[in-house]
Chain A
Amino acid sequence: MKYQFVVERRQQVSLWLNLLAVAAALIVGLLISAVLIRGAGANVLESYKALLEGAFGSKEAILESLVQATPLIFTGLAMVVAFRSKVINLGVEGQFLMGTMAAAWISMNFSYLPNLVLIPLLALGGMIAGAALGFIPAILKARLEVNEVISTVLLNYVVLYFLSYLLSGPWKPPYEWLMQTIRFEESTYWPNFFESRLHLGFFIGLVAAGFLLYLLQRTPFGFELRSVGENPVAARYKGIKIERIIILALLLSAALAGLGGVGEVSGLHHRLITGISKGYGWTGILIALLGQLNPIGVVLAAIFFGGLINGSVAMKIHTGVPIAVVESIQGILMFVLLSAQTMVHFKLRRIEDAE
């Protein structure tokens, strides 16, 4: 009796299956990475031990991993809003930078205000700045049906060049030869916690995730946003004002990205420099997908990825695995996890061949 297999789509995927898929993906990813580590001449088990300890092995490591996770939470949430409403906001990177610029501008001009006033002012300023950038593609899409994928991507470059301009002239202190602002005054700092670099931004990120979850799942606006993402035609027939939702979704997405930018300036670096974002906006896409477009999932995915970033330095230092391999491992793990999430929607079934 011969057998053959057919691939079929699952209608619904249970939580257990999801967890199983994640576990399986991690094992596969670690096995593939093991080959690379062996190839680089390092001990596989030691490398993974270093990775794990570097990520979550001590209080300091955990806190630092959370620091790494913070900007990704915001950009991940921004992408969740975008994906859920199918308004593909690829301008998160630029909106994030707008947030950093707003924080820098407020920090340079209003440092005389008390810290307690500046903390919310910075947050608000970053959100407005991010949203302002999001408004351009939003209005273009809603009114003129300009594809937001293109407009948002292009605006990233505009922002990047604008930032370069500010940092090479107007915002650069005269004696400075690097493209960066002055170090801001302490009145503009967001508080740090646990004697570490962990700052207010992380907790705002958690609150934002909770807020977004509530908004999406429990409010009419969230329902409309999801409906437009699911099926804009049906949404329109049932009285939802698509243009309004598109604009609001992009504004919300962009504001979250901008808020993330504020965290990096006011919570962590306390100055603005061209390389302040390591492509957080782009990583946010992966984080959102890895978090299954669920705000809580995004927080977990960001912490996982933050740990991966943090732990991989330890792995490199303690085992001598080259940085290129370390970065490949990050890529491999992301890839297998995302693949597993797609594959979990399908199953193999054995059928009897007629012969």
Chain B
Amino acid sequence: MKLTNMLIVLFVVAMLVAACGPSEPEVVEKEVTRVVKETVVETVIVEVEVKTETEAEAGAEAGAEEPTELTMVAISPNTAEDPWPQALMQSADRVIEEKYRGLDMNFEYVENVQFPDVERVGREYAKSGEVDILWFHTSYLDAVSVLREEFPDQLISITSSVYDDHKAGSNQYWMNAGPVLESSYLGGVLAGLMTESNTVGVVAAYPVDSQTMPMNAYIDGVRSVNPDAEVKVSFIESWYDPAKAREAAETQINAGTDVLFSIVFGPFEAATKHPGVSGIGFLVDQIYLAPEVVLTSPIAKWDPRIKFLIDEWWEHKVNGTPYSSPAEAIQFTMADGGNEIGPINEDLVPQEFIDQVMDIRQQILDGELVVQARFEIPESD
């Protein structure tokens, strides 16, 4: 027993020593610099190798120095079935289909990455040298702030705001997380037209910017066609809790709401139980979820944002332009293709209302109507 234990301890110690080498406090300074340099040198070498490869391939095919392939990886805590990643994946599919800039694009969505794993997983991808655009979920800023320094030649994108002393810039690009301003307004217009009880509702997750912006747009849309309409607002204080969302929806329905804007998952289930109550989806076309309830859905389109990143990467890759992200969020309007009102359910909505919504959509596209982004927390009437 004793001997075994000692052997095991010895083994662990030996492994540690072998792995880490001796560390003497006095030379720490020196070692640090050396290590950092080594890392830099290594990265450069890797980069060069990659380039030669690409050059060789490209040269053989087209005789130009232009890249032909691109890999984009998105890392997120959400499962792939969630509306948010669905919207991202659908956008990526469209860009792939389009063969933007002649590129064969690979897109991979890495789901269910938990907070403690983000930095490690992100580093592993960055280290592999195989990922051109590394996209992080909003909540991963801690990891991004480390990896951005560690891999200055890696294009990193994150859909998040800024905190403390850390800002978007250099190789870190900031994509706004809630890109459904105008289409939410149009959803509101439809809700305002459709309501018979003159009461409409919104069920949302948290009172945060990415939620309050579409909420306010929706409310503005309702009021634009139906100034007297009452609006009910619920926050379920969770990103994903169908039971809570259902409860909140029930409460609103009992208070007279007959059109529910569902920014979180769950309210449609409540709506199906009450004839005459309809709903509006979010981020992706959600009519398939409840065809007898869902009128339409404001759709998030990441296409122009992805293309923007590809352009930045192209510039860096071909011309060696250093990455330099703007410090502010990169926004695209509906006119720029940043969001869109989804298909309208013709079984539920009369043609005249569809026409009316489409008219207003055209006004927005033409610049005649500008939807204001408002972030204050809405309250129930």
Contacts and interface: CB of A to CB of B under 8 A. Distances in A.
B62 interface: no
Interface string B101-114: 00000000011101
A296 interface: yes
A54 B1 CA distance: 33
Given A296-B5, A323-B112, A314 B142 contact: no
| A contact patch SS | helix
A296 B9 contact: yes
B156 to A, nearest CB: 16
Interface string A304-348: 000000100110011000010000000000000000000000000
Given A177-B206, A317-B125, A213 B116 contact: no
B14 interface: no
Interface in B199-257: 206, 208-210, 237
Contacts of B4: 15
B116 A168 contact: no
A314 B115 contact: no
Contacts, number: 84
Interface in B1-58: 1, 4-5, 8-9, 12, 15-16, 19-20, 23, 31-32, 35
B19 A62 contact: yes
Given A183-B142, A264-B116, A318-B128, A194 B77 contact: no
Given A264-B116, A271-B142, A194 B121 contact: no
Interface in A89-106: none
A175 B209 CA distance: 10
A278 B116 contact: yes
Main secondary structure of the interface of B (DSSP, over half): helix
A13 to B, nearest CB: 13
B274 interface: no
A62 B21 CA distance: 12
Contact of A276 (B20, B116, B138, B210): B116
Contact of B120 (A64, A177, A277): A64
Nearest to B112: A323
A313 B120 contact: yes
A352 interface: no
A195 B112 contact: no
A269 interface: yes
B163 interface: yes
A183 B20 contact: no
- Name, among B110, B115, B164, the residue most crowded by chain A CB atoms within 10 Å (CB to CB): B115
Nearest to A71: B116
A300 B8 contact: yes
A50 to B, nearest CB: 10
A314 B124 contact: yes
A82 to B, nearest CB: 21
B65 interface: no
A299 B115 CA distance: 24
Contact of B210 (A67, A177, A275): A177
B333 interface: no
A268 B115 CA distance: 12
B119 interface: yes
Interface string A276-312: 1110000000000000001011011001000000100
Given A15-B4, A63-B20, A300-B12, A317 B128 contact: yes
A67 B20 CA distance: 13
B315 interface: no
A317 B119 CA distance: 14
Contact of B114 (A175, A264, A275): A275
A206 interface: yes
Nearest to A203: B16
B176 interface: no
Contact of B115 (A177, A194, A273, A313): A273
Contacts of A270: 142
B124 A195 contact: no
A237 interface: no
A178 interface: yes
A310 B12 CA distance: 18
Contacts of A193: 20, 23
A150 B20 CA distance: 43
A323 B110 contact: yes
Interface in A1-30: 15
Nearest to B13: A206
A54 B9 CA distance: 24
Nearest to A202: B16
A275 B118 CA distance: 11
B336 interface: no
B237 A168 contact: yes
Interface string B149-187: 000000000000101100000000000000000000000
A355 interface: no
B111 A278 contact: no
A59 interface: yes
B139 interface: yes
A299 B116 contact: no
B117 interface: yes
A49 interface: no
Contact of A275 (B110, B115, B163): B115
A183 B112 contact: no
Contacts of A141: none
Given A177-B206, A271-B142, A300-B8, A310 B120 contact: yes
B8 A194 contact: no
B12 A299 contact: yes
Contact of B163 (A59, A176, A317): A176
Contacts of B32: 195
A43 to B, nearest CB: 16
A298 B64 CA distance: 57
A3 to B, nearest CB: 36
Nearest to A65: B19
A278 B9 contact: no
A318 B127 CA distance: 11
Nearest to A176: B163
B65 to A, nearest CB: 27
Q: What 10 A-B pairs have minimum CB-CB distances, sorted nearest first?
A: A177-B208, A275-B115, A62-B19, A194-B20, A296-B8, A313-B124, A178-B139, A195-B35, A278-B114, A317-B128
12 contacts: A15-B4, A67-B120, A177-B209, A195-B31, A195-B32, A210-B9, A217-B1, A268-B116, A273-B115, A296-B8, A313-B120, A313-B124
Given A15-B4, A313-B120, 7 more contacts: A54-B124, A175-B161, A194-B23, A269-B142, A270-B142, A299-B12, A300-B8
